Structure 1
Amino acid sequence: MTQGKISVANKAPGMEGQQQANGSSSYENGFPAGDHELFTTFSWDDQKVRRVFIRKVYTILLIQLLVTLGVVALFTFCDPVKDYVQANPGWYWASYAVFFATYLTLACCSGPRRHFPWNLILLTIFTLSMAYLTGMLSSYYNTTSVLLCLGITALVCLSVTVFSFQTKFDFTSCQGVIFVLLMTLFFSGLILAILLPFQYVPWLHAVYAVLGAGVFTLFLAFDTQLLMGNRRHSLSPEEYIFGALNIYLDIIYIFTFFLQLFGTNRE
């Protein structure tokens, strides 16, 4: 799920021809330059390109979040739909399989991710499957809890986004720290999954939820600054699908961890 978040490449679009003209090497700072790189360490000279790229990413992200919010509201407020999805867990696992397959395709394959209309088709399927997973999870919690966690998530994400655009601190240079925290989260979840069939430990689950919310809040700051183009590493302007995909996942995971932390199960 975090594939591509902490990998680095160095060539900006259009730099290859300049390097060949100058007779320079195709390597910069030890990283090979190629035509299908995900990241670049060069800032974009054309401010219009950057603005169009950011606008495109956030337009796609807004549509994804509205679709997800609609599904969550349907699964939370509509009792027949809520009862149906809870009575048929097979749809959950089918949605999870679709989510995983489409994510791997979009994250690992630059061809489908960059070519219209396949990129939008795959992203639509990915968004619908993730919306179903989030909606089903929300259906097990009290309506007030879901609304509270939605509000907290919105405030946190808005604050982190504004902070990431304004701060001089470069989150894209902290890949090692984020990776360590991610591994800590992974092994904590593994231990929790092993203990859960034998005994539920509330404080351990709360620690896991806090850690998860913190890690993906850092990922949100990291992914936001990748869009900006004026940090150590930045996302290629061709990767608007990948940018929207990562930020959308960060927000969804922040919401689900807040739901685990503050949510109250339905009676």
Structure 2
Amino acid sequence: MCEGYMIGVATSLSDTGIVLEAFGITLILFLGLTLFAFQSKYDFTSWVGVLNCALWGLISIGFIWFFFKPSSTTELVYSSIGAIVFSGYILVDTQLVMRKFNIEEEVPAAITLYLDVINLFLNILRILATQRDD
């Protein structure tokens, strides 16, 4: 519920063109990453540790930003790293859905992929908004 509210606020504060562009980029990235994860013989689940560390780093930086306003360049770098991290999570979680989850875990698996896509969208939206503001 909070995620839906956050998306609503983020999209209402952005230009409609930027939101649609972010949606299109997110859709293309998600489809491409999912197809790549399906056909790849490489096991992306080994990336979980690195992705978790990167995510905690992003969360820590986000807390610091409560006290210090970031520059547009810093925000662009932060959002780019966030987009890369959540792209990695899409690869990992897609392979987990394919190989590790069993039939009883369909709902948690779907929620996990949903959150990956939403966070990728929000980071791409922030990248596009930052570039338009400059």
TM-score by length of 1: 0.47
Letter in 1 for 2:11: S
Structure 1 residue 133, shift from structure 2 partner: 2.6
Instruction: Select which of 107, 115, 132 maps to 1:249.
Output: 115
SS in 2 for 1:174: helix
Asked whether 1:258 is paired with 2:127, we answer no
Partners in 2 of 1:194 and 1:205 — Cα distance?
14
Larger helix share, 1 or 2: 2
Q: How does 1:19-98 map to 2 (within 5 A)?
A: 95-96=1-2
Asked whether 1:175 is paired with 2:48, we answer yes
Work out which of the two has the higher radius of gyration on C-alpha atoms and give 1 or 2: 1
| Aligned residue in 1 for 2:101 | 235
| Aligned residue in 2 for 1:144 | 17
How well do the aligned residues superpose, as a CA RMSD in angstroms?
A: 1.5
Distance 1:183 1:133, change over 3 A: closer
Structure 1 residue 179, shift from structure 2 partner: 1.7
Asked whether 1:225 is paired with 2:95, we answer yes
Instruction: Select which of 212, 228, 251 maps to 2:82.
Output: 212
What is the identity percentage for the equivalent residue pairs of Structure 1 and Structure 2? 34
Partners in 1 of 2:124 and 2:67 — Cα distance?
22
Structure 1 residue 170, shift from structure 2 partner: 0.6
Point out where structure 1 has 5 or more consecutive residues left out of the alignment: 1-94, 97-129
Partners in 2 of 1:211 and 1:244 — Cα distance?
24
Point out where structure 2 has 5 or more consecutive residues left out of the alignment: none
Structure 1 residue 210, shift from structure 2 partner: 0.7
Instruction: Select which of 65, 69, 73 maps to 1:203.
Output: 73
Asked whether 1:187 is paired with 2:57, we answer no
Structure 1 residue 182, shift from structure 2 partner: 1.4
TM-score by length of 2: 0.90
* More contact order relative to length (CA 8 Å, sep ≥ 6): 2
Partners in 2 of 1:155 and 1:246 — Cα distance?
19
Structure 1 residue 164, shift from structure 2 partner: 0.4
4+ residue runs over 3 A deviation:
none
Partners in 1 of 2:43 and 2:5 — Cα distance?
34
SS in 1 for 2:67: helix
